[in-house]
Chain A
């Protein structure tokens, strides 16, 4: 409608000398990436550093996006409410509900229009003001079309009330009406008219009304022929108008702002009981008469004509072409689909028209840095492909804070998208590990129930312990709770820390049996056994016998497993001989301690308890 048919707009990319260089580009979901390049490099061409930037070019949406956002948000809640309307309510109540929804949508468009109009008036910059005004007229056209669709398709007004609705429709949208036109074109007569129709709660049948009107029409005709108004040419033309004389009406063309105004006026005076199916005849002729060959029909005219012809698909198709975003067609099609008006003719890639439009609209929302949250609900209500689209889009939302990540995760979890939950948690856990936030990393792996990552985090903790000799983040390890069961390594970590605590509390017997169980139950990683055995040393060296003979045998077994299992050839890597020395010393010390403990244990156990 308001799309420029003229020259495409020229946007200069700063920093790129378009005379000397070329540009390459690629399309994105809502924008374009542009950067400088040189396609044909000549030999003599000096390799001067051109523009080092990549530019993102997007259609200038800043002008109206703030106000349009309200449209998107409010219509989102209406959309979600519509989907929840119960199926069982059929017949009149359902129709009434759908009409209410349609009116809600329209009031949202109107509110947007009003606000934008205010801004357009108040705009300092005339270019800005013009842009706002053009946006206002686009919104106005959208409301016009929607209103007509509501009357014809949703309200499904029968002959009789149909004209009244159309009258309201025209009155609502024709702004430039001065007093005279109002008088001539219907408001004087509607007084008579409204009594005539006896609305609401009209109990007269259509035939009765038709007869009454016929009677009145004949009376008018008689007055004209009798020359009652011959003295006053204005009154005479008024009478002709009331008789529905096309030429008389056309004489007042300046007062009629457009052809559909003309149409409704014609119908009012010549065929007030017009039936819906007859509308398009009158519409076509009105259009032709009004334009009179001066100009061709505008896109808006084509859309309205398609509506009068009850060709819903054509309406939607034309709107899709004329409008720059999917908002209008997506919501209107969805509403009409709820009215069971769309034939389910499948488009070639499997989904029907309603779903296609909703998917396109929602994908557009996901390209917006903030409105993606609205898109989720739209995908939810696309039964065929919605879930797949959502899965793909949701993973690509940039997560710069934990709070945003939590919201995205909640969306995925509610829809049982476990793969996405895992992948997002893994990314966050990895980030946390890089930032040395091991507690956060663990909390993410617990949320994703990711045992592998929990193992990774535990290994990190253990590594830290080996390097520093003490645990970092005791508050976490001490309080793992049931999360400890997530992975073996994590359980080991928790138990190992418990061992240290028991030792610190001097509960040596408990500590000893825990230590042993860690090794014998195979929870401890092999690489850690040496550390565990070394931890056992002070217990072995205690004055009192802590490890029983049985336990000592087991410890010895572990030590043997460890030493026999270890590969000998180390000199290939040029290992320092001191490491080897330390190792052998440790093993020797352990062997000695174990042997001594064994001796003491056997003696102690063999001794009869004193009475």
Chain B
């Protein structure tokens, strides 16, 4: 990984997302969206990367991403997802879910649809109405699933005014994140360390499966599904621990890896190269986990230069599933054989890295130090 460019943007970044490239396109990702938080006026912004190679005269890290357009957003941006090329869905701390539409001809963003009061503690009918922050969204156009601090799961469909399906009180604690497993199934993580699988084909408000950590019920903050193997899921917890789960087998994680020193905010499998995993944390670091077992590739990581510090993972608990015919490299971590290379990608320690996104060889992250870091040469 050659160079990572930083740019200070005068707003604390809570979420960063690459715009998806059209399928079959060979171009690297160019446009990304960010959401801010903790400002009196927050905004959702769209940025574009120009040509690199224009370092500033003192050779400092001068990012070349320029602001295309932005739009005011009520409340903190708690989560952000691209629904498709032009539409961005944002989850707000006011309990609102908004779809923003990007108009490329005049470079503006506008509100396309809004579900106000998607999440609330006490309903709008009551005089003591209290909204609840919406904490996570996941999209599979035209469906949008949202979860919030009220323990509610909503299934929205674009252009439908009301939620298609709502599971009230799905959880007695806060739901932090949600992801799709197979299309009618979603998986949520909550603040008592449980993964719950919900099947929208079934009626009722009970999860079809519950998995949890043994030991302390550490809250789980993020979740991501393996792009190819839909039963493999990675979660990140409040203690910075990375857990890999196989939802078909058992109710406990396959491996626990001690990672960050503080809350892990996001975990992402690389969408086209799933042997690579990325995590970012409150402790101000962004880690690249490489579980590829291809030995020649691994030795090249040792020659990356002084900035990277390679550490070895310490799997705390391990279950070898010998009956599996297709063993994902994540599921069969054996400390003796398959080592996971971990590399820290940010040059200096900074305030919390709140969000990251990876697409192709482009990596993006946003921090509480009001900076956005971009690199487009992740694997060189």
Check A88 for interface membership: any CB of B closer than 8 A: no
Residues of A contacting B214 with CB < 8 Å? 481
Q: How far is the CA of A404 from the CA of B282 in the complex (A)?
A: 11
Check B341 for interface membership: any CB of A closer than 8 A: no
Check B85 for interface membership: any CB of A closer than 8 A: no
Residues of B contacting A76 with CB < 8 Å? 369
Check A437 for interface membership: any CB of B closer than 8 A: yes
Contact A407-B352, Cβ < 8 Å, known A370-B12, A475-B171, A481-B215: yes
| Residue from A73, A81, A479, A482 in contact with B8 in the complex, judged by beta carbons closer than 8 Å | A73
A438 touches B133 (CB 8 A): no
Stretch at the interface among A203-211, A318-326, A337-345, A440-448: A440-448
Check B344 for interface membership: any CB of A closer than 8 A: no
Check A317 for interface membership: any CB of B closer than 8 A: no
Q: How far is the CA of A77 from the CA of B370 in the complex (A)?
A: 11
Residues of A contacting B11 with CB < 8 Å? 69, 370
B171 touches A370 (CB 8 A): no
B76 touches A443 (CB 8 A): no
> In the complex, how many angstroms separate the beta carbon of B314 from the nearest chain A beta carbon?
22
Residues of A contacting B282 with CB < 8 Å? 406-407, 410
Interface string of B315-359 (1 = CB under 8 A from A): 000000000000000000000000000000000101110000000
Check B194 for interface membership: any CB of A closer than 8 A: yes
A70 touches B191 (CB 8 A): no
Check B196 for interface membership: any CB of A closer than 8 A: yes
Interface string of B2-46 (1 = CB under 8 A from A): 000000111110100000000000000000000001111000000
Check A247 for interface membership: any CB of B closer than 8 A: no
Residues of A contacting B219 with CB < 8 Å? 443
Residues of B contacting A439 with CB < 8 Å? 151, 171-174, 190-192
B39 touches A370 (CB 8 A): yes
The residue in chain A whose Cβ has the minimal distance to the Cβ of B263 is A406
Residues of B contacting A436 with CB < 8 Å? 121
B348 touches A437 (CB 8 A): no
Q: How far is the CA of A107 from the CA of B9 in the complex (A)?
A: 17
Q: How far is the CA of A175 from the CA of B192 in the complex (A)?
A: 62
Contact A475-B194, Cβ < 8 Å, known A370-B38, A435-B132, A480-B217: yes
Residues of B contacting A414 with CB < 8 Å? 262
A406 touches B238 (CB 8 A): yes
Check B51 for interface membership: any CB of A closer than 8 A: no
Check B212 for interface membership: any CB of A closer than 8 A: yes
Contact A476-B370, Cβ < 8 Å, known A70-B8, A435-B130: no
Residues of A contacting B348 with CB < 8 Å? 77, 81
Residues of B contacting A442 with CB < 8 Å? 173, 192
B93 touches A400 (CB 8 A): yes
Interface string of A443-467 (1 = CB under 8 A from B): 1001000000000000000000000
Q: List which A402-444 residues lie within 8 A (CB) of chain B.
A: 402-404, 406-407, 410, 414, 435-440, 442-443
A404 touches B38 (CB 8 A): yes
Check B149 for interface membership: any CB of A closer than 8 A: yes
Residues of B contacting A534 with CB < 8 Å? none
The residue in chain A whose Cβ has the minimal distance to the Cβ of B92 is A401
A74 touches B172 (CB 8 A): no
Check B58 for interface membership: any CB of A closer than 8 A: yes
Interface string of A338-373 (1 = CB under 8 A from B): 000000000000000000000000000000011001
Q: How far is the CA of A414 from the CA of B284 in the complex (A)?
A: 14
A479 touches B369 (CB 8 A): no
Check B178 for interface membership: any CB of A closer than 8 A: no
B196 touches A475 (CB 8 A): yes
Residues of B contacting A404 with CB < 8 Å? 37-38, 76
Q: How far is the CA of A475 from the CA of B175 in the complex (A)?
A: 13
Q: How far is the CA of A442 from the CA of B351 in the complex (A)?
A: 29
B173 touches A443 (CB 8 A): yes
Residues of B contacting A402 with CB < 8 Å? 133, 135, 149, 174, 191
Contact A483-B38, Cβ < 8 Å, known A73-B8, A74-B8, A475-B196: no
Q: How far is the CA of A440 from the CA of B58 in the complex (A)?
A: 50
Check B246 for interface membership: any CB of A closer than 8 A: no
B352 touches A479 (CB 8 A): no
Contact A435-B10, Cβ < 8 Å, known A370-B38, A443-B173, A473-B172: no
Q: How far is the CA of A349 from the CA of B141 in the complex (A)?
A: 63
Q: How far is the CA of A414 from the CA of B369 in the complex (A)?
A: 18
Residues of B contacting A530 with CB < 8 Å? none
B262 touches A435 (CB 8 A): no
| Residue from B78, B192, B217 in contact with A401 in the complex, judged by beta carbons closer than 8 Å | B78
A479 touches B192 (CB 8 A): yes
A440 touches B12 (CB 8 A): no
Residues of A contacting B78 with CB < 8 Å? 401, 403
Interface string of A62-82 (1 = CB under 8 A from B): 000011011001101100010
Check B312 for interface membership: any CB of A closer than 8 A: no
| Residue from A67, A74, A373, A479 in contact with B212 in the complex, judged by beta carbons closer than 8 Å | A479
B263 touches A73 (CB 8 A): no
Check B224 for interface membership: any CB of A closer than 8 A: no
Contact A483-B217, Cβ < 8 Å, known A73-B8, A401-B93, A402-B133: yes
A373 touches B173 (CB 8 A): no
Residues of B contacting A373 with CB < 8 Å? 12, 351, 368
The residue in chain B whose Cβ has the minimal distance to the Cβ of A104 is B60
The residue in chain A whose Cβ has the minimal distance to the Cβ of B56 is A111
Check A17 for interface membership: any CB of B closer than 8 A: no
Which of A76, A369, A402 has the most CB atoms of chain B within a 10 A radius of its CB? Answer: A402
A66 touches B215 (CB 8 A): no
Check A472 for interface membership: any CB of B closer than 8 A: yes
Check B164 for interface membership: any CB of A closer than 8 A: no
Q: How far is the CA of A89 from the CA of B201 in the complex (A)?
A: 67
| Residue from A369, A401, A479 in contact with B40 in the complex, judged by beta carbons closer than 8 Å | A369
Check B187 for interface membership: any CB of A closer than 8 A: no
Q: How far is the CA of A245 from the CA of B59 in the complex (A)?
A: 43
Q: How far is the CA of A479 from the CA of B348 in the complex (A)?
A: 40
Known: A473-B172, A476-B192. 4 other contacts (CB 8 A): A401-B78, A435-B122, A479-B192, A479-B217
**30 A–B contacts, CB within 8 A, in A order:** A69-B10, A69-B11, A70-B8, A70-B10, A70-B370, A73-B10, A73-B370, A74-B8, A370-B11, A373-B368, A400-B93, A401-B76, A401-B93, A402-B149, A402-B174, A403-B37, A406-B263, A410-B263, A435-B130, A435-B132, A439-B151, A439-B173, A439-B174, A439-B190, A440-B173, A473-B172, A475-B196, A475-B207, A476-B173, A479-B210
Q: Which 9 A-B pairs have the closest CB atoms?
A: A439-B172, A439-B173, A473-B172, A435-B121, A69-B10, A70-B8, A440-B173, A401-B133, A370-B38
* B interface with A by C-beta (< 8 Å): 8-12, 14, 37-40, 58, 60, 76, 78, 93, 121-122, 130, 132-133, 135, 149-151, 171-174, 190-192, 194, 196, 207, 210, 212, 214-217, 219, 238, 262-263, 282, 348, 350-352, 368-371
